[in-house]
Amino acid sequence: MLQNLINSLPEWTKASGEADDVAISSRIRLARNLKGIPFPNKANDQQLTKVVETIENAVSRQSDLMIPIKIENLSANQRLIMVEKHLCSPQFIEKPHYRMLVINKEQTISLMVNEEDHLRIQTISPGFNLENALNQANHVDDFLEETLDYSFDETCGFLTSCPTNVGTGIRASVMLHLPGLAMVDQIKQVLSALTQLGINIRGLYGEGTESLGNIYQISNQVTLGHSEEELANNLTSVCRQVIEQERSVRKALMKDSRLQLEDRLCRSYGLLTQARLMNTQEALKLLSDVKLGIDLGIIPEAARVNVKELLFLIRTSILQHIYGKEMNQFERDYHRAMTIREKLASV
Dump pLDDT digits (tens) for 157-184.
Answer: 889 998 878 888 999 999 999 999 999 9
pLDDT tens sequence across 194-246: 888 888 888 755 554 456 889 999 998 766 667 788 888 889 999 999 999 99
- Give pLDDT, residue 223: 66
Amino acid found at 323: Y
Residues 340 and 270: their CA atoms lie apart, in Å, by 11
**Whole-angstrom Cα distance, residue 49 to residue 97?**
9
Per-residue model confidence (pLDDT) at position 197: 82
Whether this prediction's pTM lies above 0.85 is answered by yes
Q: How is 61-112 classified by DSSP, letter by letter?
A: GGTTTEEEEEGGGS-HHHHHHHHHTTSS-GGGGTS-TT-EEEEETTSSEEEE
When pLDDT is averaged across residues 141-146 and rounded to a whole number, the result is 94
Cα distances (angstroms) measured from residue 96 to each of 49, 73, 148, 169: 12, 9, 23, 23
- The number of beta carbons lying within 10 Å of the beta carbon of residue 222 is 16
E-assigned strand segments in the chain: 23-32, 66-70, 100-104, 109-113, 119-126, 152-153, 157-158, 170-177, 199-202, 215-220
Taking Cα atoms as reference points, which of 263, 305, 273, 309 lies closest to residue 8? 309
Find out whether 30 and 170 touch, Cβ atoms under 8 Å: yes
The C-alpha atoms of residue 120 and residue 112 are separated, in whole angstroms, by: 5
pLDDT at position 208, please? 47
* Residues 249/184, Cβ–Cβ less than 8 Å: yes
CB-side neighbour CA atoms (13 Å) of 236: 17
Q: Provide the phi-psi class of 174: left if phi over 0, else alpha when psi is between -120 and 50, else beta.
A: beta
Residue 66 has pLDDT above 70, yes or no: yes
Q: How many angstroms separate the CA atoms of 127 and 269, rounded?
A: 23
Domains of the chain with bracketed CATH:
2-250 (3.30.590.10), 257-345 (no CATH)
* 3-state DSSP percent of the chain in helix, strand and coil, to 5: 50, 15, 30
> Phi, psi (5° rounding) for residue 292?
-60, -40
126 beta partners: 25
> Kindly report the CA angle at 64 between 63 and 67, in degrees rounded to 5?
60
Which residue in 64, 13, 29 sits closest to 136, CA to CA?
29
Answer with the residue of higher pLDDT: 39 or 65: 39
| Amino acid residing at 181 | L
Question: Would the pLDDT of 1 be above 80?
Answer: no
**What pLDDT does 264 receive?**
97
Mean pLDDT computed over 86-92: 94
